[in-house]
Amino acid sequence: MSKKAVGIDIGGTGIKGALVSTKTGELRSERIKLGTPEGGEPEAIAEVVRDIAAAVDDKPERALGICFPAVVKHGITQSAANVSDRWIGLDADELFSNTLNRHVHVINDADAAGVAEVKFGAGRKRSGLTVMTTLGTGIGSALFYNGVLIPNAELGHLEIDGVDYETRASFAAMERDSLSFEEWAERLQIYFSTLEKLFTPDLFIVGGGVSKSHEQFLPLLKLKTEIVPAALQNSAGIIGAAALAYASE
């Protein structure tokens, strides 16, 4: 069988998916996006995932990867962001496998995006410690050492100046506080300087939708570590989830 798998990216407002070449990282189908069911209940989300999977792939024997806004350990979702609290402690691998009747692998959304960037994007062929961050509703993060994922690094929740710092430095915080890019960069400087002090990384990759505007804020940051925008943007979660599912078979 060709090296293809389905990737699904679940968010608080939308669920998107496509068939992916796990050799090149390219999408091999149209990317389909449907709304996340109101309330984000597990069974309702699983039904939407099934509909998307059926629309992008007619071979149920193929692996399917799902990235999800939660800490995920051995297929169990241990937190929940912008979805029902019923996800906390739920065996998500089992739920999706039973609903879709196929091999399913569930992973944290930032980890999946990071895998895509390290395998196919801005972190490809980079050695040492790479820290991927996604700037959105919160701050997602993923750690890689010589290309190997260290899962569930929740670095957006670092306490800095007495607060969970994603509440001050996320893109949502920028919009909430009506900050200019220059003002937001001052908060990002504190955040990335703290990461630099704690981890001494070799590379920062910055993703999330706002990374399309990276020229307006990344050059304002003064760091010892190289910092670059993500290359795969909105498809990174889909690509990383598919690659991890294929590798887990």
- 80-129 pLDDT, tens digit per residue, is 877 899 999 999 999 999 999 998 999 999 999 999 999 999 999 999 99
Do the first three CATH levels of 4-111+235-248 and 125-230 match, i.e. the same topology? yes
What percentage of residues in the chain have a pLDDT greater than 70? Answer: 100
What percentage of residues in the chain have a pLDDT greater than 90? Answer: 89
Look at domain 125-230 and name its CATH class.
alpha beta
Q: For the beta carbon of residue 151, count every other beta carbon within 10 angstroms.
A: 15
Q: What is the model's pLDDT at position 234?
A: 82
Burial 194-214, CB ≥16 within 10 A → b, else e: bbbeeeebbbbbbbbebbeeb
| Model confidence pLDDT, tens digit, residues 137-175 | 889 999 999 999 999 999 999 999 999 999 999 999 999
Look up the pTM and report it: 0.92
CATH hierarchy code of domain 4-111+235-248: 3.30.420.40
* Helix ranges, the chain (H): 42-56, 92-100, 109-120, 166-169, 171-176, 181-199, 236-248
Domains of the chain, by residue range, sit at 4-111+235-248, 125-230
Tell whether the model's pLDDT for residue 1 goes beyond 70: no
